[in-house]
Amino acid sequence: MQRYPHHFFPMDPQVCPLPPGSSSQSMISLDKSPASTFKPSHSRNSSTGSSKHSKQSRNWEVMDDLQHVEMISAQGSSLDLTIPGICEGYLMKRRKYPLKGWHKRYFLLERGIIKYSKTQQDIQKGKLHGSLDVSMAVMSINKKSKRIDLDAGDNLYHLKAKSHDIFYIWLTKLCAHRVFRKNEAMSVHHGVLQALSIGQTTLPAMATYAYRNRATPPQYASSASVYQPEMGSPAPAIASHPGVTSKVSAWLQQTHDIDATTNDLARCQAELTELAQLIQRLHWLEGGLPVTNSDLEMRISMQNLQLEKPKKKSGKGFGHSRTLSRVEALGMFTSSHLSTNPSSGGGASVQSIPDYVYSQLSNPQVTSPEAKKLHQDICTVSQRVHSSLKSIHDVLSLERERLRQAWTGPEMRQNTSQQLTTLCSTLSELDIQSRLTKVHSLSLSSESTEESFCTVRPDQRTPSTGRHPQRAPSVADSMAEYFDASEVIVCESSSEAEASDESGLSDITCTSTSEPEEGHATATLNYRTSVKEAPERPSPLPSDTGRRTTLPAPSSDNSHIGIMNILYNNIGKDLSRVSMPVLLNEPLSLLQRLSEELEYSELLDTANHIDDPYERMVYVAAFSISGYAWASWRYGYKPFNPVLGETYESHREDRGFRYISEQVSHHPPVSACHAESEHFTFWQDQRWKNKFWGKSVEIISSGQVNVTLPKYGDHYEWNKAVTCIHNVLSQQRWLEHYGEVVIKNTQSDVCTCKITFVKSRYWSSDNSKNEVQGVVLDRNGEVVHRFGGLWHEGIYCDTLPTPKCIWKPNVQPDDHFQFYGFSHYARELNELTPELKAVLPPTDTRFRPDQRLLEEGKVAEADKKKDEVEEKQRERRKEMAKRGEEHTPRFFRKVLDEAGREVWLSNGSYWKLRKSPGFSNTENVDLWPGA
């Protein structure tokens, strides 16, 4: 998905020639050259700047090589901008589609950009599958399994080398390219800063840009990274802005004055030769020693040399000072006239030449008319030399002034400062990333910690360091902490999951192709059109549910709350003890969130009445997809993390079902739920873990979803797709579901269903985002039905006797932006009517005081209350531990299913107890702190 426009400013190679020998690109072709030529060594590894974190993270290490770079540059050492050698060869890349398994891909790492294709030929032909800027990615490695993961927010590469040698070569090269890229960005950053602050040094700064922009191939600019447009060409401030571009080209057009200086210089040269001859004659006349022509010429050309390149040091003979050589060129003065002091010799000022010549020529000994004539000639020629040089000087000054104005002009200033802001935030993001990964790996070491809640108050934030003045910290910043708070942050899968990763996994996924089939996108487009054209299905449900249609208070802006500050404050601390300010929450708990999966329960009602098992499956599949529709709206706030023993019921007479759920485990967090109706039973226990890759978070649910349809005795079972929060730390956050969902009927093998949530490719347009496609297969694996569409727009099945749109999500209320992105359905979930109040168990989420306060818009009070809720949970746990007791869930029991998995099933007591004796007459746990 491409969300940033790419501006690429191709610099004219004539204007910015490639300095000879500037790129010493060596080639390592991993498949051809034996890896034994490269001696991987750990010490070498660390010399590239990688520093290792503790071993606890199950062999995974997060590379913080870039932090090292920043340290160096902060110390003011000069940045090494040598372009590291190209690295290319085959690596295994984890499939994006389906999620599991690996495939072989050809990778090319050049100037800090890694790109890949199916084969080497494809790369050469430019048929890229993807590319990313390695310096913009968080890099984690696993030496044991030879794996390298690169997370660039929008893009996530899981790579694996075939051998340890290859692994180390890539590791070393990646580190070198990351450092190079970062250095490059740094030096641009410094250059821009300098240019802006001094104003005078614009010329060199410009030159640097020009130089560095010289050979950036266009495909770099079309790379995948978020910051690619800015960082892709090394001269972002200039190159990427059209206004700047036109200024620069206008400047280039005006440089004919500069060409004129070439003529001036040639004239000077001729005049100096003439001057030399005159002086020689004068010298003869005065009866001095003859000076040979070649001698003079040498001296004069030395002088020219020095005028052209005033800084060139010769270090020997007469060349060591410009004054000295000039005097020597005149060849008739005693050592008392010689000055080696550059300041007394007029320094380098062009204006000083005629005065100087005059003063030297006003020698009283010169009397003969011939000599006088010669003197005059010398003066005239000197004058001419002077005026030529002066005009050269003027031209150069003018150019300099023009450039200065261009740089400091309001338009350019503004653009530049915008670009500078981007640069700064990019750099600080890099900094943050490295800190974050450090924090992240620290948090891994705290998996065994007991407590998960304690609140970091916003007022605990560090006073602004002044380093990141521009950054408005985002809501998403706290994401990692949310997960930290629930202690499920997992950098990498547990060993079992790892094993399955390696094996390429499940029977079905093994046979499928790794990338979407050809024509896949077209199919989705067709489905999309069909869905759009399909008439709105009148909902079988009454539109007026008699429930509330809005929330008591709109959502508060939380964009000022930043995880960065909190993380800065907590480096080295146990992050699992950090919880979030309530402003980041939506007034719903995860238990309520899970009940939202029943918003389209009518699909199950329909399914229960369909005789054809294949068509029935289509409806069950549509139901499973409908549970993901919320994701387009709900990325700004996170649900409350239920406390242990918290419950939630949702009795929907209008929809004919009743739902209960309970937080049955805290470590790991498990929410169990169960819903029943005349037409179906639905249950699931969600144990989800997340992988935080530095820029994005993958939420991986391991529990199965279950649905039974009583009419045909079906029991459907399916897994969940992965939900990924991309760019979790930036404002460009977006949610995506991907992976394969397989629906099986445990009571019959007549058919299975395979649904694929397609991972968006970075270059795909918004049109193809959120794609989903599915097939219903018969016993023999033959396709009986096909369906597809977009999980946020609807599902269409074109293989039914009458092709039709199976499901469309409900229309979002117009004001959803003001209310946490909540749908009509979501708004009803936390409503507490007096009737309900009388019958609900006190553990129900609706009684959770901090959530209620937040819903009412009383943020400060909610925040305080949240502390108390968390504190109370801690107390309760401590007391239980003291008594040696273990928490037993009230409405669910743990059993082993046929496959030997632990599952939580309803024990059937909830509705019975509710009816009689009623929860007010039972003993209930006291979860909430008093008023």
**Interacting residues with ligand CLR (CB under 6 A):** 475-476, 478-479, 584, 593, 634-635, 637-639, 686, 688, 699, 701, 720, 723, 725, 735
What does each C-alpha distance from 928 to 196, 644, 876, 925 come to in angstroms?
57, 11, 11, 9
- Choose between 575 and 751: whose C-beta lies nearer to ligand CLR: 575
For residue 443, the minimal CB distance to ligand CLR (Å) is 16
For residue 432, the minimal CB distance to ligand CLR (Å) is 15
Question: Which SS3 state, helix, strand or coil, does residue 348 take?
Answer: coil
Question: Which SS3 state, helix, strand or coil, does residue 651 take?
Answer: strand
- Choose between 88 and 736: whose C-beta lies nearer to ligand CLR: 736
For residue 205, the minimal CB distance to ligand CLR (Å) is 39
- Choose between 185 and 621: whose C-beta lies nearer to ligand CLR: 621
- Choose between 327 and 475: whose C-beta lies nearer to ligand CLR: 475
For residue 816, the minimal CB distance to ligand CLR (Å) is 15
CB-CB contact of 223 with 1 (8 Å): no
What is the C-alpha separation between 106 and 115, in angstroms, rounded?
8
Q: Token pair of 622, please?
A: 């549509």
- Choose between 178 and 720: whose C-beta lies nearer to ligand CLR: 720
For residue 699, the minimal CB distance to ligand CLR (Å) is 5
- Choose between 100 and 634: whose C-beta lies nearer to ligand CLR: 634
- Choose between 603 and 725: whose C-beta lies nearer to ligand CLR: 725
Q: Token pair of 836, please?
A: 């309900």
Q: Which of 225, 242, 263 is nearest to 1 (CA)?
A: 225
DSSP 600-633: TTHHHHHHTT---HHHHHHHHHHHHHHTTGGGGT
For residue 144, the minimal CB distance to ligand CLR (Å) is 30
Q: What angle do CA 844, 846, 847 make, to 5 degrees?
A: 75
* Helix 369-408 with 410-444: angle, nearest 10 deg: 60
For residue 688, the minimal CB distance to ligand CLR (Å) is 5
- Choose between 686 and 708: whose C-beta lies nearer to ligand CLR: 686
Q: Which of 635, 631, 815 is nearest to 731 (CA)?
A: 635
- Choose between 479 and 620: whose C-beta lies nearer to ligand CLR: 479
CB-CB contact of 658 with 911 (8 Å): yes
What is the C-alpha separation between 37 and 40, in angstroms, rounded?
9
Give 87's strand partners: 28, 109
For residue 595, the minimal CB distance to ligand CLR (Å) is 11
- Choose between 321 and 723: whose C-beta lies nearer to ligand CLR: 723
DSSP 398-428: HHHHHHHHHHHSHHHHHHHHHHHHHHHHHHH
Q: Which of 327, 326, 306 is nearest to 315 (CA)?
A: 306
Q: What angle do CA 73, 74, 80 make, to 5 degrees?
A: 10
For residue 486, the minimal CB distance to ligand CLR (Å) is 9
For residue 14, the minimal CB distance to ligand CLR (Å) is 50
What is the C-alpha separation between 107 and 170, in angstroms, rounded?
10
Q: How many residues does the chain have?
A: 931
Q: Is the dihedral of CA 816, 819, 820, 826 positive or negative?
A: negative
What does DSSP assign to residue 183? H
- Choose between 395 and 580: whose C-beta lies nearer to ligand CLR: 580
What is the C-alpha separation between 579 and 444, in angstroms, rounded?
16
For residue 141, the minimal CB distance to ligand CLR (Å) is 27
Question: Which SS3 state, helix, strand or coil, does residue 872 take?
Answer: helix
- Choose between 434 and 486: whose C-beta lies nearer to ligand CLR: 486
Strands 585-589 and 638-640: parallel
- Choose between 479 and 625: whose C-beta lies nearer to ligand CLR: 479
Q: Token pair of 256, please?
A: 């004919």
For residue 563, the minimal CB distance to ligand CLR (Å) is 8
Measure CA of the first residue to CA of the last residue in the chain; give whole Å. Answer: 49
Residue 95 makes CB contacts below 8 A (sequence gap 6+) with 101, 102, 103, 514
| Burial of 527 (C-beta count, 10 Å sphere; 0-12/13-18/19+) | buried
HSE-CB at 458 with a 13 A cutoff on CA atoms is 17
For residue 661, the minimal CB distance to ligand CLR (Å) is 12
For residue 579, the minimal CB distance to ligand CLR (Å) is 13
Radius of gyration of the chain (CA): 37
- Choose between 328 and 597: whose C-beta lies nearer to ligand CLR: 597
- Choose between 721 and 805: whose C-beta lies nearer to ligand CLR: 721
For residue 637, the minimal CB distance to ligand CLR (Å) is 5
Strands 902-906 and 794-797: unpaired
For residue 436, the minimal CB distance to ligand CLR (Å) is 14
- Choose between 275 and 584: whose C-beta lies nearer to ligand CLR: 584
Residue 695 makes CB contacts below 8 A (sequence gap 6+) with 137, 138, 151, 152, 153, 433, 726, 727, 728, 729, 730
| Burial of 144 (C-beta count, 10 Å sphere; 0-12/13-18/19+) | exposed
- Helix (H), strand (E) at residue 397: helix 369-408
- Choose between 270 and 472: whose C-beta lies nearer to ligand CLR: 472
For residue 633, the minimal CB distance to ligand CLR (Å) is 10
CB-CB contact of 744 with 752 (8 Å): yes
